[in-house]
Structure 1
């Protein structure tokens, strides 16, 4: 009886484990699709990816050397049948070995430090061409406000930029502000993370070389709805970007359904919990 129960329990656990494995794979695929740093599509992201691969090669080499040394020691000096149990000769200090395991790590750390510092300053001090697009992104709990000062456009949770080519470089410089708490602006395929801090201005830039939609997110926990603070960057052709700008600059069309919805919102319990700036709806 107990054997039958044990077999049944094993079958259930096996099925549950397979289901969890498949679900984890699906979840990982979703996350990777949203935050893929291994498919850079912008100049800063390409340089960051190169640095990451350089660091991975060094640390991977260290892992291989250490693992090989441990495997050799385990196999070469394993216990044998003819061992008499006596203690092997002991070595109390070796100047060449101690120098080696002190100097080599220092050299590795210095190389990684200098390489990282060079890239940080190269990205930070990159020359800004006159053709660059300037935008301002303001982090709110829990959404992104995107302003185009030179175009008179404001959007929410989406950025439209023109694609950059060798013949016509079109980088986009982004001024980052926070309206409340600390956020972190991150579009993995286009640039590295940049903190968005209250009462402080930070700046980053992107130069996408491929059209498409790139997903970003807030990478700093900022409250209960942090996970929903997402962002999309639409990289358009020059013609598409001009058409989008023209469409956004058109006056808004007043839809009767919108007016009716506003009346419902303002005269019912919605305004007790929700807030619309410029109205009496100030609930939180």
Structure 2
């Protein structure tokens, strides 16, 4: 009876694993459906290693089963002793050479790809007027959100990275507090964000994200960084170059935008009094803010990086952010706001947009 129960438990475990693993093929977040040059190279290396490992497993299994069948006692008797090959120079050479060859087959393309992905010399190239020719994004990871600065364009945003397709985008990665790791599974990565040094690499986005679920690729923090590590997500919107340039122009047009405590709009006035010290509402400015830049909040598809993008979730987040992201650094006067003020602030934040 107990054996039967154990078998059913194993079956149930496999069934549950199948349900979870069925999500691994989603195009917006899966390394198995790459949508960029780096991701495709990494996928090819993954397949190469799987093929080599599969060949090794098949050969070893065949030899084991062959020996098991050929030299079984029922066939050759109790006293049969197979030929001993201990000390055979031929076999020892074979056992040494084959693993070396397999390791070289894996190591050579892996090293070549590593150096290719780490080649960021083009990041500093300039045109005749002295302007940099490559798009560079400075990524700063914080507890528990992401800040994206486009230094040549003079704009800053947060939580949603916007990039053009079919060209290299270069990244400077750093962390403001503890170590994090920047990873867009379907595009490529992952690279650590360190506090003491800047890591540099590039990605190429080969597909527009408009047709994907939520219209974005998903990005993750891939380094355990605290109690809300699993909730430290960001989104990537990939568009063609013309649409990207339009987005940049829209962001630059927000220069000087701010919220006023004298506004007749309760949401704006409350935001100016309680939130503006940490959150900017202009896409033009400097990095290093305490909280995410909210200029494009109305264009995003998530609240706090993982909650469905609606007013109710935003109100809940403002009311008690610690409940949703333990260990986050959002503190201030929001705790003293009335339900009416929280609702008005949520309306104001949801109205912030550069795409509408």
Structure 1 CA distance for aligned equivalents of residues 99 and 202 of structure 2? 34
Within a 5 Å distance, the mapping from 1:1-284 to structure 2 comes to 14=8, 21-33=14-26, 35-80=29-74, 83-125=77-119, 128=122, 131-164=133-166, 170-212=167-209, 213-251=216-254, 252=257, 254=259, 256-260=266-270, 275=329
| Cα 1:171/1:82, change in 2 over 3 Å | closer
| Cα 1:219/1:274, change in 2 over 3 Å | closer
Give the conservation status (yes or no) of the 8 Å contact 1:177–1:201. yes
Moved more, 225-234 or 107-116: 107-116
What's the CA shift for 1:114?
2.1
Structure 1 CA distance for aligned equivalents of residues 106 and 328 of structure 2? 49
What's the CA shift for 1:217?
0.6
Give the conservation status (yes or no) of the 8 Å contact 1:137–1:177. yes
| Cα 1:20/1:240, change in 2 over 3 Å | farther
Give the conservation status (yes or no) of the 8 Å contact 1:191–1:205. no
Count of residues in Structure 1 that have an aligned counterpart in Structure 2: 266
Task: Give ranges in structure 1 of 5+ residues lacking alignment.
Answer: 1-5, 165-169
Give the conservation status (yes or no) of the 8 Å contact 1:146–1:156. yes
What's the CA shift for 1:196?
1.1
| Superposition TM-score, scaled by structure 1 size | 0.79
Structure 1 CA distance for aligned equivalents of residues 70 and 328 of structure 2? 70
Structure 2 CA distance for aligned equivalents of residues 193 and 204 of structure 1? 10
Task: Give ranges in structure 2 of 5+ residues lacking alignment.
Answer: 126-131, 210-215, 260-264, 277-318, 335-356
Structure 2 CA distance for aligned equivalents of residues 18 and 72 of structure 1? 31
Structure 1 CA distance for aligned equivalents of residues 231 and 33 of structure 2? 23
What's the CA shift for 1:187?
0.9
Moved more, 175-184 or 129-138: 129-138
CA RMSD after TM alignment: 3.4
Structure 2 CA distance for aligned equivalents of residues 211 and 77 of structure 1? 60
| Cα 1:103/1:220, change in 2 over 3 Å | same
What's the CA shift for 1:50?
1.9
What's the CA shift for 1:231?
1.6
| Cα 1:264/1:74, change in 2 over 3 Å | same
Structure 1 CA distance for aligned equivalents of residues 275 and 176 of structure 2? 25
| Cα 1:103/1:134, change in 2 over 3 Å | same
Structure 1 CA distance for aligned equivalents of residues 147 and 43 of structure 2? 28
Give the conservation status (yes or no) of the 8 Å contact 1:265–1:271. no
Structure 1 CA distance for aligned equivalents of residues 16 and 48 of structure 2? 33
What secondary structure, in the 3-state scheme, does the structure 1 residue paired with 2:73 have? coil
What secondary structure, in the 3-state scheme, does the structure 2 residue paired with 1:30 have? helix
Structure 2 CA distance for aligned equivalents of residues 103 and 81 of structure 1? 34
